Amino acid sequence: MVEALRYRDDSAHEEPAVTLDAFLDQTNATAVRLESDEDARALIPYLDRLALIEIAFPTFRDGRGYSAASILRESGYKGELRAAGDVLIDQIGHMRRCGFDAFAPDKPLDPAAVERAFRRFPFSYQKAEDGRVPVWALRRG
């Protein structure tokens, strides 16, 4: 198993993530895994009790996890949001912009390459969950 990359200051959540169905059937789980075909909005009523939401990326071509991350962050989720599966270096910067702050790739990623990927595009054109000010707002002063 490849070691997860975390970009958070709090302690790593050790409880295994349960499936969405299992989570909805119990009251004590604090970690859940969303598959790419599951609706993140089902978790909105429970965001205050979740410490970890892991979103599956079964293949790099499946971008539904980006939308799920945005929905969860826009709904106020503050816990760890982990992208798991076919996470590629070319996508990791965009994943951070959507709100992912942890990554569990199927294959190891070079930490130096990850840091370069985060800096690859110093300006953005739209608001996102990473808090960067869009370039149009910078131009206006």
- pTM for the full predicted model: 0.84
Per-residue pLDDT tens listing for the chain (141 residues): 566 789 889 988 888 899 999 999 987 899 999 999 999 999 999 999 999 999 999 988 888 999 999 999 999 999 999 999 999 898 998 898 889 999 999 999 988 888 888 788 776 666 667 667 776 777 776
Beta strands across the sheet bearing 5-6: 5-6, 102-105, 80-85, 52-57, 31-34, 18-19
Contacts of 91 (CB under 8 A, 6+ apart): 60
Q: Residue 72 is encoded by which pair of tokens?
A: 């969860």
19 class by beta-carbon count within 10 Å (0-12 exposed, 13-18 middle, 19+ buried): middle
Instruction: Find how far residue 29's CA is from the centre of its chain.
Output: 19
Q: What is the CA radius of gyration of the chain?
A: 15
Residue 105 parent element (H or E) = strand 102-105
Please state, in angstroms and rounded to a whole number, the distance separating the CA atoms of residues 129 and 141.
Answer: 21
Strands 80-85 vs 102-105: parallel, antiparallel or unpaired: parallel
